[in-house]
Structure 1
Amino acid sequence: MCVVVPEEIDPHIREGYLGVMHPFSASDIPSYGAGIGYRSELAKALEGHESDLDVLEILVDQWRHAENLDALRELTSKYEVVTHGVSMSVAGAGAIDSEYLAFVRDAISLCGASYHSEHLAMTYIPGMDSGHLCPPILSESSLAACKRNVIQAQEELGVPLALENVTYSVSPSPDHLSGASFIAELTTATDSLILLDVTNLFVNSRNYGFSASDYLERIPMERVVHIHLAGSSLDSTGKHVDSHSELIVKEIWELAAHAASLCNPKNVIIEHDANFPDVSEILAEVSEARSMYFPGS
């Protein structure tokens, strides 16, 4: 394994990372199968359906208060659980907040997760929370900062990061495939993993007119350990939005099937965040994803 550590990284973190050299490998990640992103609105509806879900993904940021931990422990007693986050600001110019990483490390330990997934996005700059998942600036200095942050996170968490491609309302580059090259270089250099959000890729490709297949050809698909699938919607201008508020449409399933032919993820997660359908429809999507990514299971 060759990990390219930027020279400008904090010396303590640099020394620790090079000393430990975690042998992160997608082949070492346990495979659970297909499930959903857990939302409290679905709690009652899911009762009695534990056997229909191979895995739950929990958004760690929603469990930060101590009074939530008993409920989280109860979930881990019923399901295999993987962890996901929205607040790490991997693509930010500054270092990641170590207090936040300590909280995430505790959540990972409680859930027994073998990796942690997070958006390749900026959510915070000193003194301001953007409240939005801003895509990374596609520049050499931004790439160096992302490498530094990923290395810091993996060192402090003790597990690999799986980085998620995000949607954007303002294009970070005229070359929409440069985002694929960015995540490819970042994950290869830091020995990190990929969360491929198929719906996010679909939305960006439709909004900006590039080939989703060409994007998939540019990223190291062997690093894809996690898949997100969700429904999208159209806004008043006709733009696609990753709203997570609808059932998954045929075109997204077709892109998901193409991705399935190129990678072997460990977990596939269906996301619903609003306008929740009947649980039977959600479970039907889980079943479809299972048959697509884990045939014969």
Structure 2
Amino acid sequence: MSSQLAAAGLGLRRDFLPQFLDRPPENVDFIEVAPENWMGLGGRLGRQFAEALRHKPLYCHGLSLDLGGPRPLDRDFLDRLKGFLDQHEVVSYSEHLSACGDQGHMYDLMPIPFTEDAVHYVAARIRAVQAHLQRPVAVENVSYYAAPGARMSELEFICAVLDEADCQLLLDVNNIVVNSINHGYDAQAFLRGLPPQRVAYIHVAGHDHEAEDLRVDTHGADVDAEVWALLADAYAHVGVVPTLLERDFNIPSLEALLGEVEQIHQIQQQHLSKAVRAHG
């Protein structure tokens, strides 16, 4: 396994920029941003952002493409997005396999119905986005709390979209754990059902324990032990790929976040060591 793939990343926050630039963290191999939050940014923050990219490769994880929504794709937004991705030589661009708008943007990720019609609809939109951006797109398996009108399983739906759209997968390990508890399925079996050759990179994050059978995907807590364990299983299934730590709320110090980034590295190295021993 290439050591270039044994990489751990961190979402870049504006309030961490001064610390990040003063001493770029050695154990952060790449950074990720939501492009909507940085496109067209100028002034001091714009200069700091450009300086950060001198030190670390950039991945982008979108928030508003609305792949499953009823609105036509926003071509003006896609033009601006393409310019941003090309300008900053973005390594990978991903979006949520969800809906997030109708007449306006809801700032929430709504599940797409697990039906054949929805597979065809969203796959066509993903193909159109890939053609417009002239690059592959990775879609993320999302957390959800209801599945009205489902005619297939979540796993069947994701695999069908990946196949028909011929796109990549952003594998969110935390979302598998959350969904498996909320909807009563086996997280490891779900993971093994995903096509490993489609995985572009991985997300890990924390979630809230609301009840024994209810977890809420908040990105507002430390990564749970179940998520760390499933991350190790993910490397066994897909190999060691770049893995990003997400944290959106209840933000601790940068040092605390870097401790979790280091845990990603440790799990990656454990898997690589096992692979070396297995092959003699």
Residue 140 of structure 1, CA deviation: 1.7
Task: For residue 113 of structure 1, give the secondary structure of its aligned residue in structure 2.
Answer: coil
2:237 counterpart SS class: coil
CA contact (8 A) 2:58 2:91 kept: no
Aligned residue pairs, count:
266
Distance 1:61 1:52 in 2: 26
Let me know the Cα RMSD of the aligned residues. Answer: 2.3
Aligned-partner SS, 2:258 = helix
- Alignment match, 2:16: 42
* Structure 2 residue ranges without an equivalent (≥5): 274-280
TM-fit CA distance, 1:33: 1.2
Q: Is the 8 A contact 1:233 1:241 kept in 2?
A: yes
- Asked if residue 107 in structure 1 is aligned to residue 84 in structure 2, the reply is yes
Distance 1:63 1:37, change over 3 A: same
Which of 143, 156, 164 is the aligned partner of 2:119?
143
Q: Structure 1 residue 289: deviation in Å? A: 0.9
CA distance in 2, matches of 1:87, 1:49: 29
Task: Confirm whether residue 131 of structure 1 aligns to residue 114 of structure 2.
Answer: no
The 5-angstrom pairing of residues 273-288 of structure 1 reads 273-288=248-263
SS in 1 for 2:266: helix
Q: Residue 72 of structure 1: CA displacement? A: 2.9
- Is the 2:64–2:100 contact (alpha carbons within 8 Å) kept by the matching residues of 1? yes
Contact in 2 for aligned 1:90/1:149 (Cα 8 Å): yes
Tell me: CA distance 1:292–1:141, structure 2 relative to 1, closer, same or farther (3 Å). Answer: same
Q: Which residues in structure 2 correspond to 1:1-297 (within 5 Å)? A: 31=5, 33-46=7-20, 47-67=22-42, 69-125=46-102, 127-172=103-148, 178-235=153-210, 239-264=214-239, 266-293=241-268, 295=272
Contact kept, 8 Å, 1:32 with 1:80, in 2: the verdict is no
SS of aligned partner of 1:228: strand
Does structure 2 retain, via aligned residues, the 8 Å contact 1:118–1:161?
yes
Aligned to 1:261, what secondary structure does the other structure show? helix
Query: What TM-score do you get using the length of structure 2 for normalisation?
Result: 0.87
Distance 2:258 2:202 in 1: 16
CA contact (8 A) 2:64 2:105 kept: no
> Contact 1:93–1:145 (CA<8 Å) still a contact in 2?
no
Question: Could you give the per-residue CA deviations for residues 175-205 of structure 1, whole angstroms, max 9, x where no partner exists?
Answer: 8x81111111111222210001111111111
> Which segment drifts farther, 147-156 or 102-111?
102-111
Q: Say if 1:34 and 1:290, in contact at 8 Å, map to a contact too.
A: yes
What runs of 5+ residues in structure 1 fail to find an aligned partner?
1-26
- Which residue in 2 is equivalent to 1:7? none
C-alpha deviation, 1:280, in angstroms? 2.4
CA contact (8 A) 1:224 1:265 kept: no
The answer (yes or no) to whether the contact 1:94–1:145 under 8 Å persists in 2 is no
User: Any conservation in 2 of the 1:163–1:193 contact (CA below 8 Å)?
Assistant: yes
